[in-house]
Amino acid sequence: MATWTHMGFQDSASPLMEQLIFFHDHIMLILILILTFVGYLLSTLFFNTFIHRYMLENQTIEVIWTTIPAIILIFIAFPSLRLLYLLDEVNYPSITLKTIGHQWYWSYEYSDFLQLEFDSYMTPYNEMTSSCFRLLDVDNRTILPMNTQIRILITAADVIHSWTIPALGVKADAVPGRLNQISFLINRPGLFLGQCSEICGANHSFMPIMIESTSINSFLNWISSSIEN
């Protein structure tokens, strides 16, 4: 999770987030090279006392400064389009989870397992323990198995919300009357925190998301005990 003075991305917990970080590093490398080159040219222009009073145009230079940016944009566009299609790919999910945004909490439905449903509220400050995360912990965690392709169906019951988990690289709007779909795979166990990312009212800041990634056996045991109860 993000902490104070944390300037970069959170550690990735899914292949999609890894690709997003790689793409970010790819773009940053190109930007640093461009800024360095342009800065060098500007510095030489500021301190250069020589001028060419009779030069009105130079076709060669114009062709070069048109062609090189076009090539750079191609090197940016192809990885961007590839990643865009990867983010939209569903990849034969093994588990489907429905998420419904409310003012101001989330409800979840495991429709693959006899309609297991529960609401997830932020843990109040007076009920928190020393191990809780302030404003980020919930009373009912969303348990999901790792190394499993998971599909999330997202909607809302009242206003527009946004279901976001930065470590997984997923963010989708929850729109009343519509179903948005995202898919991801969690590649390690742990707790992954998120918050509503669409201003949805007075308590917008108090509807966190907490995903607990476990092994498949632990997930099935939790499902069995939840259905029995």
Asked whether 132 and 191 are in contact (CB, 8 A), the reply is: no
Q: What is the pLDDT of residue 38?
A: 92
Q: Report cis status (omega within 30 of 0) of the bond before 65.
A: no
Distance from C-alpha of 153 to C-alpha of 172, rounded to nearest angstrom: 10
Q: pLDDT confidence of 175, banded at 50, 70, 90? A: very high
Do residue 76 and residue 103 come from a single domain?
no
Assigned domain for 200 exists: yes
Q: What is the pLDDT of residue 1?
A: 64
Over residues 149-163, mean pLDDT: 92
Do residue 199 and residue 118 come from a single domain?
yes
Assigned domain for 1 exists: no
Phi, psi for residue 170 in degrees, rounded to 5: -120, 140
**Who wins on pLDDT, 55 or 183?**
183
Over residues 189-215, mean pLDDT: 91
Q: Which of 44, 62, 88 is the last residue of a domain?
A: 88
Q: What is the pLDDT of residue 155?
A: 94
Q: Which of 56, 88, 120 is the last residue of a domain?
A: 88
Distance from C-alpha of 185 to C-alpha of 148, rounded to nearest angstrom: 6
Backbone conformation region of residue 165, classed left if phi is above 0, alpha if psi is from -120 to 50, else beta: beta
Q: What is the pLDDT of residue 34?
A: 93
Do residue 119 and residue 218 come from a single domain?
yes
Number of domains in the chain: 2
Over residues 23-34, mean pLDDT: 93
Do residue 76 and residue 121 come from a single domain?
no
Query: Coil, strand or helix: which one is 187?
Result: coil
- Distance of CA 115 to CAs 106, 108, 140, 164, 212, Å? 16, 10, 16, 23, 20
Assigned domain for 218 exists: yes
Using N-to-C axis directions, what is the helix angle for 15-47 and 59-88, rounded to 10°? 160
Distance from C-alpha of 68 to C-alpha of 180, rounded to nearest angstrom: 39
Assigned domain for 192 exists: yes
pLDDT digits (tens, 9 = 90+) for 125-136: 888 887 888 888
Closest CA to 110 of 102, 100, 101: 100
**Domain residue limits at 23:** 15-88
Q: Which of 36, 53, 88 is the last residue of a domain?
A: 88
Do residue 144 and residue 76 come from a single domain?
no
Assigned domain for 34 exists: yes
Determine what percent of the chain is predicted with pLDDT higher than 90. 44
Over residues 161-183, mean pLDDT: 91
